[in-house]
Homo-oligomer: A and B are copies of this chain.
Amino acid sequence: MKIQTLTERIKVANKERPADLVIKNAQIVDVFNGDIIHKDVAIVDGFIAGLGDYEGKKVMDAQGQYMAPSFIDSHVHIESSMVPPSEFAEVVIPHGVTTVITDPHEIGNVLGTDGLQFMLDDAKNLPMDFHFMLPSSVPATPFETSGAELQASDLHPFHADSQVLGLGEVMDYSSLQNADPGLLEKIVQTNQAGGYVDGHLAGLDEDAVNVYSSSGVQTDHECNTAEEALARLQRGMYVSIREGSAAKDLKALLPVVNEKNARRCLFCTDDKHIDDLLNEGSIDHHIRLASALGFNPITAIQMATINAAECYGLHHKGAIAPGYMADFLFFDDLHALNVTQVFKEGKEVAYQGKLVEELRSSFSSSPKITNSVHIPSLSKEQLRIPITESKKGNIIKINKNQIKTDHLIEEVEIESGFFQPSVSKDHMKLVVVERHHHTGNIGLGIVKGMGLQRGAIATTIAHDSHNIVALGTNDEDLEKAIQHLGGIGGGMTLFHEGKLLSSLPLPIAGLMSDQGYEKVAHQLLDIHKDLSTLGFTNDFNPFLTLSFLTLPVIPSLKLTDKGLYSTKEAKHISVSI
């Protein structure tokens, strides 16, 4: 804040000078009192200067619409949308989101500090504020090969960046519990920089909450039950309620939220694909959903605005009040909550679901960002899974729409001593190919429950190291799908009978498109159509399921480039019994 800016704001507040813009005749959501108030809103230089009776150079008649602070997504991995920040902004601004707290964990795993810097740069000069939390857990585990490692010393310089707000989701509970000095150094340096630390307490019990809370970790977005949420609230953590593409927690958690504790509850999307953002919305969707479940929509708006701002020390955000940024939106009905118009720093940025003007005509990225998929040529021999005379294999059993898997032991089809995929048994071959460092690592496994009938699918979105993961009924399609991803710099692809069905190139770190979001959404439609061609049922998202089959921090059986991993045994195991 400068003296000149402050002077101007005071002169407007004091009615000595007209405001840049005055909003009249709005039903203002007062997030401090949980109420609706009726006053003129005076805006100057992107900030609100007064609530009362005001004159402005421009006057807007809100015609009785509701006016609320624009929304804050308190935890989102932009990479999961499959577009970079500048495109992501185009999609969510019309839904009323103008601030996100984002953790570039995915690109960090692929490209390290180069990835972080790309995200920071791409997020600049947009009518949306991206506050970054630095990835705390790269690599997430030692059980897979990631593209990069981020030590405390790598992260340290980023704390000086004004876009950086702290340390991202601390997910490595084992290291935290063991007071691993490398992790603690990351926390301590964040504290010293005045930053915040996010948590990630998937399925963890009260004892673990104590460990997290006592370490100064202040949020969790991984609660699945009201009981878990209460345990975290009681120990001083903010609970961020997630509705993403895969994880949908709002319905389960809402019963724990009441007028007394709502101040400690926020909303987030965490991971949400571009098509879901386009079709369903972002944080606006949370509010509609909560309202439909009988929750007070004004309390929900508080969770989407002032609560998130308070949690992250964003003192000038999340309210329509003097001294706050003029980031707000209009909507027609407290329950339907159709966002009709969005303003960022006093300027209209979206109207009736569309941006008022295009954000950025071109997009810049360097080869080190777009050339991240490095794979060797594969031979058929490398894809063989030997099975002993027991004929039995350790099999990953997926559960549709969950990221937890079960560990099955079943008899499998065998040919010349090697596993043979079987449509009738629903035993598919799963392949993970290391794609960062030319290690030549290939992990092989067997999956049940996907329902693939023919062909193969492959993707470079494979949490958290984002190696290539492929699923197929036959080695030819598997190999071609994998090679195709190498050729296009990563993405998603589907092959059948040796031929490409469709693909979505994601050349930015193998995670994000360098095309516009419309093109991505269009290609995703093609992909979903071709998934049906391969026999998938449409009651789950096979690519989403696939991308979590590589995540060894989630039970029970997973596959990494280092082989089949059992979380129960906490080690890699062989496929054959």
Contacts and interface: CB of A to CB of B under 8 A. Distances in A.
Interface string A53-88: 000000000000000000000000000000000000
A213 interface: yes
A310 interface: yes
A49 B210 contact: yes
A572 to B, nearest CB: 27
A373 B445 CA distance: 88
Contacts of A192: 1
Contact of A6 (B35, B179, B234): B179
A215 interface: yes
Interface of A: 1-3, 6-7, 9-15, 30, 32-35, 37, 42, 47-52, 176-177, 179, 181, 184-185, 187-188, 191-192, 194, 206-207, 209-218, 230, 233-236, 259-261, 263-264, 299, 310, 313, 315, 319, 321-324
A50 B214 contact: yes
A10 B49 contact: no
Counting from the closest, the 4 A-B pairs by CB-CB distance are A236-B321, A34-B260, A213-B322, A50-B210
A287 to B, nearest CB: 17
A161 B8 CA distance: 31
Contacts of A323: 213-217, 236
Contacts of A191: 1
B3 A207 contact: no
Nearest to A320: B236
A423 to B, nearest CB: 48
Contacts of A51: 206, 210, 234-235
B9 A215 contact: yes
Nearest to A263: B263
A203 B288 CA distance: 41
Given A177-B10, A188-B3, A215-B6, A313 B310 contact: no
Contact of A216 (B1, B181, B211): B1
A322 to B, nearest CB: 4
A53 to B, nearest CB: 9
A260 B259 CA distance: 6
Given A10-B179, A194-B194, A32 B236 contact: yes
Contacts of A47: 214
Contacts of A234: 30, 32-33, 37, 51, 321
Given A48-B214, A263-B263, A179 B321 contact: no
Contact of A33 (B49, B210, B230): B230
A571 B21 CA distance: 38
Nearest to A217: B323
18 contacts: A3-B185, A3-B188, A6-B216, A7-B179, A7-B181, A12-B214, A13-B211, A13-B215, A15-B207, A33-B261, A35-B260, A48-B214, A49-B210, A50-B214, A209-B322, A216-B323, A218-B315, A235-B321
Contact of A187 (B6, B34, B50, B213): B6
Given A1-B191, A37-B234, 15 more contacts: A3-B188, A6-B179, A7-B181, A11-B179, A14-B177, A14-B210, A32-B233, A32-B234, A33-B261, A209-B322, A213-B323, A217-B323, A235-B322, A236-B321, A236-B323
